[in-house]
Amino acid sequence: MFRRRTRGRTRKAALLLTGLSAAVLSVVGLRRRRTKGSPMADSKTIVRQLLEDPWKGNWGVIDEYLAPGYIGHDPSQPQPIRGIDGLKANFQQYIDAFTGAHITVIEQIAEDDVIASRWTASGTHTGEIAGIAPTGKDVTISGITISKLEGGRVIEEWVNWDTFGMLVQLGAIPMPATA
């Protein structure tokens, strides 16, 4: 009798716990969904969001999808970009220098956990960049980013973008003579 009651109580407690953890999980799930945009993002979506969303003010995607040991290779940077804070600082210098700066991914090509994304970036030059005082000029350049994922997070990237085109459009270097 006593044993049965205990068992009943235990079962009730277990049920309560299950219900509680289900509620907690669904709240966590909702929160995750809200930051992710989709509950089960595939590799292409992860990379697209990492490229496009920080420029819309959503820095959460970097925390969520970048591996802490991230290394970014960008020939325009003297040193590799390292970690979550490194990537945020790299983006910040362009966000500070270009009003309305944004990136649009045009196409993506993927094989296993390696994704190539071709993109364009635009903005109006209203702050100092690479020692160039604001010109007020509109700039549009293109680039290709190759991203390597590990366990659903980007661990390494190689970026090639038209640094030369940016400086030509800003008037910092002359347009090369055409053949």
Partner 1 sequence: MEEVQNGKSEAVYDELNDPAFVNLSSPPGIPSDRGGGKTFLFGFLNAFPDSRFTIDDMIAEGDQVVTKKTFTGTHTGEFAGIPATGNKVTLQFVDIMRVRNGRIVEHWLSMDQLSFMQQLGVIPTPGQDARDPT
Q: How many angstroms separate the CA atoms of 158 and 177, rounded?
A: 30
Q: Establish if 146 lies at the interface with partner 1 (CB under 8 A).
A: yes
Ramachandran category for residue 71: left, alpha or beta (phi over 0 → left; psi -120 to 50 → alpha) = beta
Among 102, 110, 126, 152, binds partner 1 (CB under 8 A): 110
Q: Establish if 15 lies at the interface with partner 1 (CB under 8 A).
A: no
Q: Which of residues 54-73 bind partner 1 (CB under 8 A)?
A: 73
Query: Distances in Å between the alpha carbon of 121 and those of 38, 46, 143, 155?
Result: 24, 18, 8, 23
Q: From the CB of 128, what's the least distance to partner 1, in Å?
A: 13
Among 75, 80, 100, 171, binds partner 1 (CB under 8 A): 75
Q: From the CB of 34, what's the least distance to partner 1, in Å?
A: 30
- Assess contact for 154 and 147: CB atoms under 8 A: yes
Nearer to partner 1, 49 or 147 (CB): 147
Q: Indicate the burial class of 110 (C-beta count within 10 angstroms; 0-12, 13-18, 19 or more).
A: middle
Q: Establish if 133 lies at the interface with partner 1 (CB under 8 A).
A: no
Q: How many angstroms separate the CA atoms of 138 and 152, rounded?
A: 35
Where on the chain is the footprint of partner 1 (CB under 8 A)? 73, 75-76, 107, 109-111, 114-116, 118, 130-131, 142-144, 146, 158, 160-165, 167, 173, 175-179
